[in-house]
Structure 1
Amino acid sequence: MMTVLKNICLTVSIFATIFFVPTQGKAQLQSNAEKNIQEIYNTNPSPLDTIQNNQGKKNGGIDLIVNPEPSDSLIPTTNFNSISGKAATCNCVPYYMCDPSTNSITEDGTFDGYGVIDIRFNADDPICPSSVDVCCASNQTRSETLNPTPLVQRPNQPKGCGIRNIGLDFTLIGASQNEAGFGEFPWTVALLHSANFSYFCAGSIIHPQVILTAVHCVQPHNPGTFIVRAGEWDSQTTRERLPYQERTVKNIIKHPQYKSRNIANDFALVILNQPFTLDDHINVVCLPQQGAIPATSITCYSTGWGKDVFGSQGKYSVIMKRVPLPVVDFNSCQERLRKTRLGPNFALDRSFMCAGGQRGIDTCQGDGGAPLVCPIGIPSENRYTQSGIVAWGIGCNDEVPAAYANVAIVRDWIDQQMLANGFDTTVYIA
């Protein structure tokens, strides 16, 4: 049992770099219930955590974000040493430099996708060193990038916010750790320390120039101390066809009723110095109407980046993850939390909603700020709205739901802040 429970994560493989919030003095603890709450929210780093983070050692999360690779690194690699140990008579190239078949490209640009990428670490077939490289036959290897038709130019493609991309660029197989597809959740962003590009929290794009995240993520930070990265997939390579984008921070707006003691009203807006350029893999998420309540029968997703679980080489270990989580109604959640060490008198703040609580879906040790999105509209559109923000949880691998900041209760506040800063509020309306 951990003596200090850290902010909720989506699985043990997800959100494993911890972001820390300040502790409160013991004088504020007036009851056993408050003491238990305080113990949950006390997430000060241990000296070892600090040392490992400063030295760039592995601490379970994105401990190093790689710099862009030189263009000549895309030259096909022949006679490569397969991770699987199986002999290969093919070229190891990025997926977008290999034809799925020799007759798949048409002059009108209707070619979509690049076939299949297998990310299983111990697959029987030859495996290239990078997660986005494929073992490509010589007669299928191209010297130029194969660009599919952009989504906005495809017929019958849904437009606007919250579109989840299914099968953008390639089909992913061997995804045993809830890995998301490339660009599948295009609104998810990473918050990185400016000094060393280490990952500490996540967020979502609600406007090309505005990020929604948690106050406890940005509370100790000044605008110049961190950056926001959008369009990331595998944090240990820059060989994806569409590159990530990074922006610096201009301003941080925190909810005026945020309470550090219990993380109530854990909502923050991060204003960027320049907007992101929206693309197939970078887009805004929809926001719910004020007071909207997601149905408890639906499955939502929370997304972020995971720890190294695939081997000592660290390959395929930091691909964006997606975790399916059922919504739990407020009263049921509160009752289940009262059966934990929080005690029978625990009162869940009304600024939270709950999700998860299924055995086998881990909710422990991780950072916050990540979006919880739920499907809306007709299924064929694959449109999602952000219902929650990762806030806190208790226990691992058990049946206790986790608490998420409830975005629907602050939709009016978000609109007010957006308009006050000259931003369009229609971009996140479905």
Structure 2
Amino acid sequence: MRSRNQFFIVTLSALFAIFNVECAPQAGSIADKNIKDIFNTNPSVPTPSGGIGKIVQPDTGGPSIIGSISGKSNNCQCVVYYMCDPSTNSVTEPETFDGFGEIDIRFGNDDPVCELSVEKCCALNRTLTEVLNPKPLEQRPNRPTGCGIRNVNGLDFTLGSTTDDKSGFGEFPWTIALLRSGNATYFCAGSLIHPQVVMTAVHCVIGQQPGSFVARAGEWDSQTTKERLPYQEQSVQRIITHPNYKSRNVANDFALLILSQPFILGDHINVVCLPQQNASPAPGTSCFSSGWGKDVFGASGKYSAIMKRVPLPVVDFDTCQHQFRGTRLGPKFALDRSFMCAGGQRGVDTCQGDGGAPLACPIGIPSENRYQLSGMVAWGIGCNDDVPAAYANVALARSWIDDRLLENGLAISDYAV
């Protein structure tokens, strides 16, 4: 979504993988120039249109019937999912049910489909005039609470006839979109670690002023505002970068954004847990990265309107460094110890568009579906190949994070397990 002379951003897609080898840290004057070109922030350069760069702003009207189409046997209307009664036999009472069933987000002519991802073709006798709200998560029995709870397969509805690369609505409630003020163009991602603090990569925000961008929580499909639970936006009050950040190889790529006001937490907005100092996940651990990035690197790649997810196994440091040395980085390449690695399966990776996006790894009892922020998208070699990508290792910065929050009068208990 951004030009190469704007700072590097990596993304996801089933997608995801990082920038090409010519952009990766390596020795020599050419490599130095590539690094400077990619990581240099130049806010005056206009952001190209298209993809998630087109952010739909909130509409002031309430939910409404979008349009109408005819099904194969019965007439139906395209309505937002929460305006269609999920029961075919009786009238559903608010907060007495758990969800609306399946929504098919295909776009095509083989079956009746609707224009927006959050619409469904609803039989005329099931179309409602008021919003129907399912039971809040906090009222459901045995629901775990606290940080890092993943809403597996999403809130409200499940996705049908789609691939595993799309996240469910509210599935990763800590994933943050960073948008430029004024034109609301997307440029990076982050993670909510405190209601008033977003963690992201330094290379995303270096050189920027706090008032030049905002943080958006609760986003899912960037091209509509019809989700039942609306997103929230907060301006950035202060940017704190790690004192040992190195622009040449983006080592210690840790930044904290102190927001002007805290987000209001809810079913689709929550903080992620943080690991203890130096407690990195074991090699082979299956983690998830989430964001709105490109499917392939470069101009031909397309950004995702709907938040994507990609499963990535953790790769041990020495193996990762060895694989990097087999690329154009050369046999003497030394991976900075501030990174961890994940991925390495061809066709499944992070890519261009979401620097700072979370790499969340499971912790605790599996039935709780609790995750911690183990890494943040930093850099890599190409997209979708069999070489792992490098992620800022959050466990190495835990003490630094605690100290910065305490200095700003913010509690550190929100992200503690």
TM-score normalised by the chain length of structure 2: 0.89
| Counterparts of 1:12 and 1:40, CA distance in 2 | 26
CA distance in 2, matches of 1:44, 1:387: 23
CA distance in 1, matches of 2:27, 2:59: 54
Question: Alignment partner of 1:39: what SS?
Answer: helix
SS in 1 for 2:182: coil
SS, match of residue 327 in structure 2: coil
Change in Cα spacing, 1:378 to 1:44, as seen in structure 2 (3 Å) is: closer
The secondary structure found in structure 1 opposite 2:392 is strand
Deviations 1:140-177 (A, max 9, x none): 11111111111111111000000000241001112226
Q: Report whether the alignment pairs 1:268 with 2:258.
A: no
**Per-residue CA shift, 1:159-211, capped at 9, x if unaligned?**
00000002410011122260100000000010000021000000000000000
Quote the Cα distance in structure 2 between the aligned partners of 1:46 and 1:222: 11
Alignment partner of 1:124 out of 110, 114, 128: 110
Distance 2:336 2:29 in 1: 13
Shift of 1:75: 2.5
What secondary structure, in the 3-state scheme, does the structure 1 residue paired with 2:348 have?
coil
Deviation of 1:112 (Å): 0.9
Gaps of 5+ in 2: 297-301
Equivalent position of 2:226 in the other structure:
239
Looking at structure 2, the residues matched to 104 and 191 of structure 1 have their Cα atoms a distance apart, in angstroms, of 43
Please say if 1:347 is aligned against 2:347.
no
Q: Which moved more, 1:264-273 or 1:136-145?
A: 136-145
Deviation at 1:99, TM superposition (A): 1.3
Structure 2 CA distance for partners of 1:46 and 1:371, relative to 1, 3 Å: closer
Change (3 A) 1:392 1:77: closer
Q: Relative to structure 2, which stretch is displaced further, 236-245 or 36-45? A: 36-45
Task: Indicate the SS of the match to 1:42.
Answer: helix
Alignment length (residue pairs)? 402
Which residue of structure 2 aligns with residue 151 of structure 1? Answer: 137
Quote the RMSD (CA, aligned, Å). Answer: 3.0
Q: Is residue 2:343 matched to residue 1:356?
A: yes
Select which of 364, 378, 384 maps to 2:365: 378
User: Taking every aligned residue pair, what percent have the same amino acid on both sides?
Assistant: 62
Contact 1:6 1:41 in 2 (8 A): no
Match of 1:390 among 377, 396, 407: 377
Mapped to 2, the partners of 1:132 and 1:316 lie a distance apart of 19
Deviation at 1:68, TM superposition (A): 1.7
8 A contact 2:214–2:234 mirrored in 1 = yes
- SS of the equivalent of 1:129 reads coil
What is the alpha-carbon distance in structure 2 between the residues aligned to residue 99 and residue 386 of structure 1? 37
Q: Secondary structure at the match of 2:86?
A: coil
Kept after mapping to 2: 8 A contact 1:186/1:284 = yes
Q: Compared with structure 1, are the counterparts of its residues 382 and 111 closer, same or farther at alpha carbon in structure 2 (3 Å cutoff)? A: same
CA distance in 1, matches of 2:39, 2:255: 21
| Residues 15/204 of structure 1: CA separation in 2 closer, same or farther (3 Å cut) | farther
Q: What is the aligned partner in structure 2 of residue 312 from structure 1? A: none
1:11/1:41 CA distance change after superposition, 3 Å:
farther
Contact 1:234 1:316 in 2 (8 A): no
What is the TM-score when the length of structure 1 is the normalising length?
Answer: 0.86
Measure, in 2, the Cα distance between the counterparts of 1:89 and 1:304: 36
Change beyond 3 A, Cα 1:415–1:366: same
Residue identity opposite 1:427 in structure 2:
D
Aligned to 2:49: 57
Q: Answer whether contact 2:283 2:314 (CA < 8 A) is retained.
A: yes
Shift of 1:284: 0.2
| Aligned counterpart, 1:11 | 13
1:171 corresponds, among 145, 152, 158, to 158
State which of 62, 71, 79 in structure 1 corresponds to 2:68: 79
Distance 2:303 2:332 in 1: 44
- Which of structures 1 and 2 has the larger relative contact order (alpha carbons within 8 angstroms, sep 6+)? 2
Shift of 1:269: 0.3
Counterparts in 2 of 1:112 and 1:32: CA distance versus 1, 3 Å: closer
Is the partner of 1:353 in helix, strand or coil? strand
Matched-pair contact (CA < 8 Å) for 1:303–1:321: yes
3-state SS, counterpart of residue 428 of structure 1: coil
Deviations along 1:227-268, whole A, 9 cap, x unmatched?
000000000000000000000010011000101011000000
Would the aligned equivalents of 1:205 and 1:285 in 2 still touch at CA under 8 Å? yes
Q: Distance in 2 between matches of 1:285 and 1:256?
A: 24
Distance, in Å, in 1 between the alignment partners of 2:252 and 2:84 is: 49
Distance in structure 1 (CA, Å) of the matches to 2:94 and 2:354:
45
Q: Which residue matches 1:26?
A: none
The answer as to 2:81 corresponding to 1:98 is: no
Once the two structures are superposed, what CA deviation does each residue of 1:331-367 show, in whole Å capped at 9, x if it has no partner?
0000000111111111100000000111112444333
Alpha-carbon separation, structure 2, partners of 1:220 and 1:123: 47
| Alpha-carbon separation, structure 2, partners of 1:13 and 1:88 | 38
Query: Offset at 1:11?
Result: 2.9
Amino acid at match of 1:145: V
- Report the equivalent of 1:404: 391
CA contact (8 A) 1:14 1:304 kept: no
Question: Which residue number in structure 2 is paired with residue 290 of structure 1?
Answer: 277
